[in-house]
Structure 1
Amino acid sequence: MTIQDVYVRSNRRITEEPKVEVISGSVMDNMEVDIVTQKTTYKVYKIRWLMLALFVLYSASNSMQWVQYTIINDIVVNYYGVPSTFVSWTSMVYMVTYVPLIVPASWLLDKTGLRVTTIIGSFGTCLGSWLKVFSVPQDMFWLGFLGQTVVAVSQVFILNVPPRLAAVWFGADQVSVACSIGVFGNQLGIALGFVLPPMLVRSQGTVEEIGADFQLMFYLVAGATSLLFVFIVLFFKAAPQSPPSAAADLGASLDSNFVHSIKKLLTNRNYNLLLLSYGLNVGVFYAISTLLNQVVLTHYPGANEDAGRIGLMIVVAGMIGSVICGLVLDKTHKFKETTLAVYAASVIGMIIFTFTLDCGYIGVVYMSAIILGFFMNGYLPVGFEFASEITYPEPEGTTSGILNAVVQVFGILLTLLYEWMLGEVGDRWSNLTLCAILALGTAVTAAIGSDLRRQAAEQKA
């Protein structure tokens, strides 16, 4: 018996030639029997971590501007002389612009790949940041809002990327962690958006001093986004030389049709249920984040920096939760069970936050915010990955794009509802309403079937 191993490298994959085992003897009519097996080995590249790092920083540079105005709502209102509602819309414009633009953005990602859309998004983020630099004069709030809108439009080239980037660059045993780290970039930016504006822009001072603070903040952001744009143009790549996993290989070999993918996704029962549950969870997070300054100052007057730091705690705890959940998914592949457990824990966290907000000890509010953030923000990559599993082999960019579009709709509706209820019935009943919404989302999640198509493709391969 002889065994011959031959390794052949190509630009697509590393393939091990069939191993042929020849057995001679009186088998049937003394024929030789050939037993042929074939195995494909996939390679991952170290440069994948650079791609992920560039995306994380790029995503953070965009999302940090989401709450740049709202976390210092009272300062912006006094300095620019605009209504509080106008300031709230600097956050909601992120949601409004996303809904109509995500379809063309997803189509572009599907057709041109990661590099083209990343460059476009990075350029838009940079351009909007520079427009704000010239909006410091007190009668130029409109220009700052225009810059904010440009940055918000650029977001459509970011939010649906993490699952696509993870699937294109990372192996099957790292894809969930990579997606979690990609989402971590968005959360990192939000964290910076919560903490930096209250630190950089003083709440008390002359008009000239506050104007100088705004100028410094806008210049810092514009400089950072410009540097990132240059790095992305120079170093960011669309895909590795060869696919990193069997699922990625199969996905790349399929001839995708964007309209057909949309139809298949919208007729997928499990995906539709996930759209509803994911939208409710992240919509609640958007509402709390947008109006956190108002809620905290109601019970702790003058605590502007504390409001920013509480927002920071929510997001940092969520980043830790995201990575832990990603590790759990990669080790166990229990997508349905993990999603349901994290969602139910978000309800508990929201209840704790509701009943400790007015306790009179702001340190307690910090602790309850950490619990809330760990589970509510930790849910973000879990929902992304669950969506990729139950919709495989549809393009991850399209799957996550629709998911985020629904999130923006819920974000707008729940933010408007939360703002109205805060004025009418106060924060206790407003927060209890958000608890009930999260409980509804938990029930919807329980109804989702555990149809793990990507895992099945990996096992079959």
Structure 2
Amino acid sequence: MQLVSYSPIWDQAAIYYGIPPQDLQWIGNMYYITFFVLAPFCIKPLLVRLDLSLHLIGVISAIGAWIIWIGGQSYLMTMIGLFIIGISDAMILIVPVCNQNVHYEVLSEKWFSIFERLLATSLGSFFQYIGMAFAYGFSSFYFKITDEQSVVNTKIEEMNLMIAIFNTVGAILLLMFLRNRPPHPASNSDNIVKDTIWKSTVKMLTKEESVIDLMALGIFIGLGWVYTTIISFEMYPYGYTQAEVAINGTVYQISGVAVGLWASMKLDSQAKQGIQPDYDRYIKIFTTIGMITLIFEAFVIEYLGFWMLLFVNFAMGVGLNSFYPIAIQAYVEKLYPATELVLVTGLLCLANVFIIKLK
């Protein structure tokens, strides 16, 4: 949340830490690099004991957030805190994955019936977007362009304290309520023999269709994630106010969540009727919308009024965010019986690398 929270106040946040504005991007890069390096090593613990793994990462994430707050204006302490948070997110981002066709999931299969799992998986995936929308909107309205730097410094410390508290509450909820499985699991997935981690990795990296899907989906996911952090840079030069930037950024996130959940329910309904969910059609529609609106905005943004730009960002949110869990579903089904955590880890690692290149 730190990087998203700082996006609307980029220059002031750089002054707060006493660094050049371009160096502030390493707050995000630390997170992305940590995920890329550590996520492959998180697969085995999650497969062995999901509950204990998530209990641990909840505590680790809270510790990282408190280090950032305690460190105050220390850029080094912030980077250390983000490294620790990155360790936890290396696990948490890959948890809500599933394979509708073969009835096997890491989290949602244990708690939901087969006809509810795509929606459950989408909720697990989209909650990160809701958190990002909240962080972006809060930061945009909490800070004012007219604030003096001393006021900005105080507000940044208050915001970091709130983030630490939210992380702590999340850790407590994980410790209190998350179990490895319910008393009566929703499926017999434990009896399904999956490929080993190594065999799944080889399959992911050597099958031609898998490599093409990996590249295409990873780039789209990375593009959707990075747009949130650059929307303020895109709008401020054309005279948009901080409130207008905040509204556009929030609409971009929420539109993807709303339409993505709608699509998930439609696909669950197909499964309930005994029809193979039509993942490809939704993926093609969403990604086409995303690319058309992205190119359109790049060429005409300086001529767009607020309401037209809001519509464009709504459409872009639908195009770049809605397809995320649906694309994961389709990808892991193609490589069955590969281990889903391996495939999703590879996909998200590529997305993180693409984000670093874009920035």
TM over 0.5: yes
Q: SS at the partner of 1:167? A: helix
Correspondence 1:316-327 to 2 at 5 A: 316-327=254-265
**Residues 295-444 of structure 1 aligned to structure 2 (within 5 Å):** 295-300=234-239, 303-332=241-270, 333-359=277-303, 361-415=305-359
1:253-292 mapped onto 2 (5 Å cutoff)? 253-254=192-193, 257-292=196-231
Mapped contact 1:119–1:233 kept (Cα < 8 A): yes
Aligned to 1:162, what secondary structure does the other structure show?
coil
Question: Which residue matches 1:124?
Answer: 60
Distance 1:65 1:298 in 2: 23
Q: Tell me the CA shift for residue 251 of structure 1.
A: 5.2
SS for the counterpart of 1:67 is helix
How many percent of aligned residue pairs carry the same amino acid?
19
CA distance in 1: counterparts of 2:15 and 2:192, whole angstroms:
57
* Counterpart in the other structure of 2:274: none
Counterpart in 1 of 2:89? 155
> Aligned AA for 2:72?
V
Classify 1:395/1:243 alpha carbon distance in 2 versus 1 (closer, same or farther; 3 Å).
Answer: farther
Q: Deviations over 1:70-94 (max 9, x none)?
A: 3321221233331122112212222
> Could you say if the C-alpha distance between residues 370 and 356 of structure 1 is closer, same or farther in structure 2, counting changes exceeding 3 Å?
farther
CA-CA distance at 1:240 after TM superposition: 2.5
Instruction: Please give the root-mean-square deviation of Cα atoms over the aligned residues, in Å.
Output: 2.0
Distance 1:251 1:406 in 2: 29
| Alpha-carbon distance in structure 1 between the residues aligned to 2:345 and 2:66 | 27
- Of 15, 30, 51, 1:115 maps to 51
Cα distance in 2 for residues equivalent to 1:78 and 1:305: 22
Number of corresponding residues: 345
Q: Distance in 2 between matches of 1:98 and 1:144?
A: 17
Distance verdict in 2 for CA 1:254–1:165, change over 3 Å: same
Q: Which runs of 5+ in 2 are unaligned?
A: 98-105, 271-276
Gaps of 5+ in 1: 1-63, 416-461
Q: Per-residue deviation at 1:134?
A: 2.0
Amino acid at match of 2:268: D
1:325-370 deviations in whole A, cap 9, x for unaligned?
A: 2123223301222222222222222234334421252232112101
Measured against aligned partners, the alpha-carbon deviations of 1:427-459 in whole angstroms (never above 9, x if no partner) come to: xxxxxxxxxxxxxxxxxxxxxxxxxxxxxxxxx
Distance 2:122 2:300 in 1: 30
Residue 232 of structure 1, CA deviation? 0.8
Q: Does the 8 A contact of 1:181 with 1:322 survive in 2?
A: no
Q: What's 1:105 paired with?
A: 42
1:219 positional shift: 1.5
**Cα separation, 1, equivalents of 2:189 and 2:154:** 55
CA contact 2:122–2:325 (8 Å) conserved in 1: yes
- Provide the C-alpha distance between the structure 1 equivalents of 2:158 and 2:210, rounded to a whole number of angstroms: 45
Bigger helix fraction: 2
Q: Which residue of 2 aligns with 1:12?
A: none
1:368, 1:90 → 2: CA distance?
28
If the length of structure 2 is used for normalisation, what is the TM-score? 0.89
Residue 178 to residue 135, structure 1, CA distance change in 2 (3 Å): same
| 1:50 paired residue number | none
Secondary structure of 1:202's aligned partner: coil
Between the aligned partners of 1:228 and 1:285, the Cα distance in structure 2 is 25
Residue 32 of structure 2 is aligned to residue 72 of structure 1? no
Matches within 5 A, 1:196-275: 196-245=138-187, 249-250=188-189, 252-254=191-193, 257-275=196-214
After superposition, the C-alpha distances for 1:126-153 in whole angstroms (9 at most, x for unaligned) are: 111111212334xx23222322222223
**Residue 86 (structure 1) aligned with residue 7 (structure 2):** no
Relative to the length of structure 1, the TM-score reads 0.70
Partner of 1:418: none
SS state at 1:219 partner: helix
Task: Report the alpha carbon displacement of residue 156 of structure 1 after superposing the two structures with TM.
Answer: 0.6
Which one has more relative contact order, counting CA pairs under 8 Å at least 6 apart?
A: 2
Runs of 4+ in structure 1 displaced over 4 angstroms? none
| Alignment partner, residue 100 of structure 2 | none
